[in-house]
Amino acid sequence: MTALVPPNTEKPATTPAASRKSRRRGSPAANIIARGEPMVWLTGGALALCMVMIIGLLVLVLIQGSTTFWPTPVIRAHLQDDSIRQGEVVRRETFELTRAMTKNLPAESQQAALTWMGDRETIVAERMLVRVGNFELTNTHYEYVYPFEIQPDGLTYPEWAMTIERMEWGRFFGTPAQFIVKHTRVLPQSEQELKALLEFFETNADRIPAEYQQAVQSALSKVDEEYRRIRQKNSAAFLKKYPPAEGMQIFVVNDGGDPVESSAETATDAVGEVWHVWSDPSRAFAAYEVYHNDVRERRTEINSLEKHELGEINSRIEEGRLALRQIEMAHRVNLISPIDEAEFARLEWSGENERLANAQAALSQWTGRFGDASPLVVAANRILAELNEDAASRHAAWENLQNELREQVNALPPAASKALESMLKIQEASNYDTQRVMTQIDELRQENDRYEFRLQTAQGAEVALPLAEIVRAFPANKIGYFDRVRIYVSRWEEFLLDDPRESNSEGGVFPAIWGTMVMTVLMSLAVVPFGVLSALYLREYAKKGLVLSAIRISINNLAGVPSIVFGVFGLGFFCYIIGASIDELFFSAKLPNPTFGKGGLIWASFTLALLTLPVVIVATEEALAAVPNSMREGSYACGASKWQTIRRIVLPRALPGIMTGAILAMARGAGEVAPLMLVGAVKLAPELPVDHLYPFFHGERSFMHLGFHIYDLGFQSQNSEAAKPMVFTTTLLLIVMITLLNVSAIWLRGRLRNRFRVSQF
C-alpha cells in the first residue's frame, strides 16, 4: 500500500522488436486499461466529494455561526416612494427580474422597475434583505430592498444611526434624540407632614363630623398656606442644586405639569422634578454609556429578586399547600379553599391596617404640632376611630375564618392541625417576605425609571426607550474595530451565560447548555457502571458459546436500533409506568398534575443511558480484549485471584478504553434529540434542573437541550428568518461541544492503540 508508483512499472513498450511475450506485457492498451485510471478517479472523486461535503458543511456552520454576532453597519435607504428603510443588511442575494414579474410588484415600484430595466427582458441583480427592526412601529422585522427602488444617492450610512438590542420587540434602529436623567425632589419632613395632613383630610372629607366642618376647613386653609410657603422655599433651593452645564439642558417638571425648559420665567414654586437633558447625539450617547451599566445591574437585581426570592417564597407556599392537600385527601375534608379565603380576608385587613398605622403615626406628629385641642386633631381622632372599627371588623372576619378552619382540623389527627398551623405560619411569613421583596423591587424600579433614552427613527418618530430594556446600544457606523470586537465578545458572553428571550430567538442559551450538561453527566453516571459490568461479565466471566455470541450480536444490534424507539420506550415505561407509580406513592397530593409521570431530566438521562449502553459495552469490551492475556496469566501465576487480577491488572489498563467509551457515549447522548422530544426536553424551562433551592437536584423537571433548541428554533419558530442566526450559533456551539468530546475520545483511543496494538475489525 505504500507503493505510490504502480508496481507493474514496465518499460514503455515502444520498441517494435520485442519478443511476443514481452510485447504482450508491454502493450500500451493493456497497460492503460489495466491501470483503470478513470475508475480510480471515480473512487477518488467519491472520497473527495465526501471530504468537500463535510468540510463545506463545517465551514458553513463555522462562518455563519461565528459571524452572527459581528456588529454590522446600519444602512439607510431612501426609496423612490419617499419611504425610508434603515437597518442592518442581513444578506445580499441575487435575483432574477423579468418583465412579467414586475406586474407582481407594488404599484409604486412597478414603474421604477421598468425604467430601471430599460429595454432588457430579464435582469439579474442583487437585492438586500434589511433587518429594519422597530417591530412595534413597522410590524415587520425584515424587508427586502430592491436596487430599482432606491433613489439616486439614496443609500447612506448615517453617522449616528444606533443599533439597539432590547429585551422585547427585537432590535431598534434610530438616532439618539435625547438622553434624560430625572431628579425628583425629595420632600423635607416639614413639607411632607403638611402634605400628608392635607391629603388625609381630602380623602376622608366625608368622614369629618358635621360640627367640625367649619373649623377644620379654616384650619386647613392656614395649613395650606404654610405648605405653599415651605414648598416654594424648598423648590427654589432644589433648583439651585442643579445649575445648567455645557451641552445639557435643564427641564423642570412642576407638580402635575409637563416639562418646560428651565429659565427665570418658568421657575415656579412647586418643582416636582428636574430633568437633565442631553440632546446632542454624541453627548446623549455618552450619557447613556455613563448610566446604562448601573441601570442594567439594577435590572438584573430585580430579575434575580423576582426569580430567586419570590420563587423561594412560592415554593414554600406550595409545600405547605401540598401537605394540606394530603390531609384533605386522607380525611376527605375541604381545607385549601377555606384557607385561601382566610388569606384573602387577611390581605384585606392588612391593607386597611397599614393605612391606619400611617395615619396614626401622622396624627401623633400633628398632635405635637397643633396641640390636642385643635379642631384638626379632634376631627382626625374621630376619623381614625371610625377607620379603626372597619379594620377591626375585617380582622374579626379573618380570625373567624381561621378559627373555623382550626375547629375543622381539631377533629382530625394532630398531624392535620400541625400542617394547618405550619401553613398559616408560612403564609404569614411569606406575606411579610413578599412585602419586603416587593418594596425592594419597587425601589429599584423607581431608580431605573429616572433614566430615559429617546431616539428618533428614520421615519422621524420619536420613541422613548426605558434604559432598563436596552441590552446593548452602539452607533453602528461610528465605532471602531476594537469596539466591534468588544461588542462581539459581549454578545458571545450574553449567548453563553444568559437566559433566552423573545421566544428563544434572542438572548442566551445558558439553560440549554446547563440542561445538556446535567443530562449528559447524569446519563454517563447511569450508563458507565452498568456498561462496564456487562462488558466485564461478557469478557471475563461468561462462558464462550452460542449464547454469548447471541448476546453480543444483540448488543451490537441495539446500537443500530433507532433512537426514537428508545424514546418511545422511555415515555411508555419510565414516564407512564415507573413515573406514574412514583407519583401515586409519593406525590399523590399533586395529582392529577404529574410530578414524575411526565418527561423529565432523569427519565431523559435513563433513556439515553439505554441508548448509549451498547457504545460503552463495545468500547469496554474492546479495551478489555486489548489487555494481553499474558498479563492476566502472570497475575494468576503470582497467586492473585480473579477479582484481584481484574481490579489491579485488567481494569487499570482498560481504563483509557473505558473512558473512551464513556466519552463517545456522552458525545452520542449530547447530540441525540429524537428521544428527548418524547421524554422531557422542552422549548423553554424557566427552572433549571439543578439549582440553589432544596433539594438542589430536581430530576423530575423538564429541561432545555441544545439539540432540541436547534430543532425548535429552526423548525417550530414563528419567524424563522429571525431565528436563523441563533440556530447557527447554537449549532456551532453544539458541534464544538461534541467535536471536543469526540476528538478527546479519538485521542484516547489512539493512545490506547499505541500501547496495545491489536487489529480492530
Partner 1 sequence: MTDQKPFTGRSRQRRTRWAVALGDTVSRVLITVGGIGTIVAVSTVFVFLLWVVIPLFLPAHLGFIREVPGAWIANNGTEDAAGATETDANPVLEFGVDEFQTTGWVLDARGVVTSFEVKTGQSLTEQDLELESPLTAVTSVPGFSVHYLAGEDGKVREADFGFATDFLPSDDVSDEARALAPEQMMLYETEDDVGMLQKTTQGQYRFQTLNVEVGEAMEFFTAPVRLLTASMPGNELILAAMSAEGELTVRRHAKRENLLTGTTSWEESDSATLTIEKRNGSLPKHLLATGAGDQLFVIWEDGLLRRFNIRRLAKGLVAAEEIDLLPAAEAHLSHVGFILGQNTFIAADTQGELRSWFSVRDAQAATPDKTTLVSAQTYPPTGSPVTAFSASSRSRIFAVGSDDSRISIYQATTGSRLASKLLSADSVKKSTAPTSGASNGEKRQPITHLLLTPKDDGLISIAGDRFVQFAFDPRHPEATFTSIFRPLWYESYPEEEHVWQSSGANQDLEPKFGLMPLIFGSLKATLYSMLIGAPLALLAAIYTSEFLTPSLRVKVKPTIELMASLPSVVLGFLAALVFAPFVEEVISTIIAGAFCLPICMLAGAFLWQLIPEPWSVILARWRLAFIALCIPIGMSVSTLLGPVVDNVVFAGDMHRWLDGQIGTGTGGWFLLFLPLSFIGMGVISSRWINPWMRERSHRRLWSGKRFIVIDGVKFALLGVVSLLASWLIALGLNAFGLDPRGIFFGTYVQRNALVVGFVMGFAIIPIIYTIADDALAAVPEHLRSASLGAGATQWQTAVRIVVPAATSGLFSALMIGLGRAVGETMIVLMAGGNTPVMDWNVFNGFRTLSANIAVELPEAVRNSTHYRMLFLAALSLFILTFIVNTIAELVRIRFRRRIVEL
Site string for partner 1, 184-223 (x = CB under 8 A): ----------------------------------------
Q: Which of residues 627-686 bind partner 1 (CB under 8 A)?
A: 641-644, 646-647, 667-668, 670-674, 677-678
Query: How many residues interact with partner 1 (rule CB under 8 A)?
Result: 119
Question: Binder to partner 1 among 25, 99, 195, 355 (CB under 8 A)?
Answer: 25
Q: Which of residues 492-511 bind partner 1 (CB under 8 A)?
A: none
Number of other CB atoms surrounding residue 385 within 10 Å: 9
The end-to-end CA distance of the chain, in Å, is 18
C-alpha cell at 6: 504502480
Residue type, 78: H
Q: What are the backbone dihedrals phi and psi of residue 237, each rounded to the nearest 5 degrees, phi first?
A: -65, -40
Q: What are the backbone dihedrals phi and psi of residue 275, each rounded to the nearest 5 degrees, phi first?
A: -105, 135
Q: CB burial class (10 A; 0-12, 13-18, 19+) of residue 486?
A: middle
Which H or E run contains 707?
A: helix 706-711
Question: Binder to partner 1 among 518, 571, 601, 608 (CB under 8 A)?
Answer: 571
Q: Is there binding between residue 515 and partner 1 (CB under 8 A)?
A: no
Of residues 158, 76, 131, the one with CA closest to residue 478: 158
Question: Shortest approach of partner 1 to residue 586 CB, angstroms?
Answer: 20
Question: Shortest approach of partner 1 to residue 130 CB, angstroms?
Answer: 19
For residue 488, the 8-state DSSP code is: H
Using CB under 8 A, which of the segments 144-152, 257-265, 398-406, 705-713 binds partner 1? 705-713
Question: Shortest approach of partner 1 to residue 619 CB, angstroms?
Answer: 14
Question: Shortest approach of partner 1 to residue 271 CB, angstroms?
Answer: 57
Between 506 and 672, whose beta carbon lies closer to partner 1?
672
- Rounded Cα–Cα distance for residues 569 and 668 (Å): 18
Residue type, 444: L
Q: Position of cell 426536553?
A: 681
Using CB under 8 A, which of the segments 36-44, 74-82, 272-280, 503-511 binds partner 1? 36-44
Q: Which of residues 292-351 bind partner 1 (CB under 8 A)?
A: 332
Question: Binder to partner 1 among 710, 726, 748, 752 (CB under 8 A)?
Answer: 710
- What angle, rounded to 10 degrees, do the helices at 213-241 and 375-410 form? 90
Q: Is there binding between residue 50 and partner 1 (CB under 8 A)?
A: yes
Using CB under 8 A, which of the segments 18-26, 237-245, 284-292, 304-312 binds partner 1? 18-26
Between 482 and 541, whose beta carbon lies closer to partner 1?
541
Question: Binder to partner 1 among 1, 100, 385, 585 (CB under 8 A)?
Answer: 1
Question: Binder to partner 1 among 345, 734, 748, 752 (CB under 8 A)?
Answer: 734
Between 436 and 647, whose beta carbon lies closer to partner 1?
647
- Rounded Cα–Cα distance for residues 172 and 166 (Å): 7
Using CB under 8 A, which of the segments 29-37, 158-166, 370-378, 650-658 binds partner 1? 29-37
Question: Shortest approach of partner 1 to residue 69 CB, angstroms?
Answer: 19
CB 194 within 8 A of CB 460: no
Q: What are the backbone dihedrals phi and psi of residue 600, each rounded to the nearest 5 degrees, phi first?
A: -160, 175
Site string for partner 1, 82-111 (x = CB under 8 A): ------------------------------
- Rounded Cα–Cα distance for residues 608 and 602 (Å): 10
CB 600 within 8 A of CB 699: yes
Site string for partner 1, 519-558 (x = CB under 8 A): ----------xxx-xxxxxx-xxx------x-x-xxxxxx
Q: Is there binding between residue 47 and partner 1 (CB under 8 A)?
A: yes
Q: Is there binding between residue 41 and partner 1 (CB under 8 A)?
A: yes
Q: How far is CA 41 from CA 5, 56, 86, 430, in A?
A: 16, 21, 52, 76
Question: Shortest approach of partner 1 to residue 144 CB, angstroms?
Answer: 15
Cα pseudo-dihedral 288, 294, 297, 301, rounded to 10: -130
Question: Shortest approach of partner 1 to residue 491 CB, angstroms?
Answer: 21
- Rounded Cα–Cα distance for residues 718 and 721 (Å): 9
Question: Binder to partner 1 among 53, 59, 236, 357 (CB under 8 A)?
Answer: 53
Question: Binder to partner 1 among 2, 19, 139, 754 (CB under 8 A)?
Answer: 2
Site string for partner 1, 587-616 (x = CB under 8 A): -----------------------x--x---
Of residues 157, 165, 185, 161, the one with CA closest to residue 175: 161
Question: Shortest approach of partner 1 to residue 4 CB, angstroms?
Answer: 5
Of residues 494, 515, 522, the one with CA closest to residue 506: 494
CB 405 within 8 A of CB 335: yes
Residue type, 407: E
Question: Shortest approach of partner 1 to residue 667 CB, angstroms?
Answer: 6
Between 384 and 727, whose beta carbon lies closer to partner 1?
727
Of residues 296, 430, 308, the one with CA closest to residue 687: 308
Cα pseudo-dihedral 424, 426, 427, 433, rounded to 10: 150
Question: Shortest approach of partner 1 to residue 408 CB, angstroms?
Answer: 14
Q: Is there binding between residue 230 and partner 1 (CB under 8 A)?
A: no
Question: Shortest approach of partner 1 to residue 60 CB, angstroms?
Answer: 7
Question: Binder to partner 1 among 209, 303, 739, 751 (CB under 8 A)?
Answer: 739
Question: Shortest approach of partner 1 to residue 610 CB, angstroms?
Answer: 6
**DSSP states of 569-594:** HIIIIIIIIIIHHHHHHH-GGGTTS-
Site string for partner 1, 55-84 (x = CB under 8 A): x-x--xx-----------------------
Question: Shortest approach of partner 1 to residue 746 CB, angstroms?
Answer: 6
Q: Is there binding between residue 45 and partner 1 (CB under 8 A)?
A: yes
Question: Binder to partner 1 among 22, 24, 357, 485 (CB under 8 A)?
Answer: 24
Question: Shortest approach of partner 1 to residue 410 CB, angstroms?
Answer: 20
**What is the distance of C-alpha 593 from the center of its chain?**
26
Question: Binder to partner 1 among 19, 21, 22, 39 (CB under 8 A)?
Answer: 39
Cα pseudo-dihedral 382, 383, 388, 390, rounded to 10: 130
Question: Binder to partner 1 among 22, 35, 120, 581 (CB under 8 A)?
Answer: 35
C-alpha cell at 310: 419570590
3-state secondary structure 723-746: HHHHHHHHHHHHHHHHHHHHHHHH
Q: Long-range contacts for 437-443 (Cβ within 8 Å, ≥24 apart)?
A: 437/305, 437/309, 437/310, 437/313, 440/305, 441/302, 441/305, 441/306
Between 69 and 576, whose beta carbon lies closer to partner 1?
576
Question: Shortest approach of partner 1 to residue 211 CB, angstroms?
Answer: 52
436: three-class secondary structure by DSSP: helix
Between 39 and 585, whose beta carbon lies closer to partner 1?
39
CB 349 within 8 A of CB 398: yes
- Rounded Cα–Cα distance for residues 383 and 375 (Å): 12
Question: Shortest approach of partner 1 to residue 64 CB, angstroms?
Answer: 9
Q: How far is CA 174 from CA 451, 454, 464, 624, in A?
A: 18, 9, 11, 66
Between 387 and 571, whose beta carbon lies closer to partner 1?
571
Between 30 and 392, whose beta carbon lies closer to partner 1?
30
- Rounded Cα–Cα distance for residues 609 and 377 (Å): 77
Number of other CB atoms surrounding residue 528 within 10 Å: 21
Question: Binder to partner 1 among 488, 510, 576, 697 (CB under 8 A)?
Answer: 576
Question: Binder to partner 1 among 22, 36, 59, 70 (CB under 8 A)?
Answer: 36
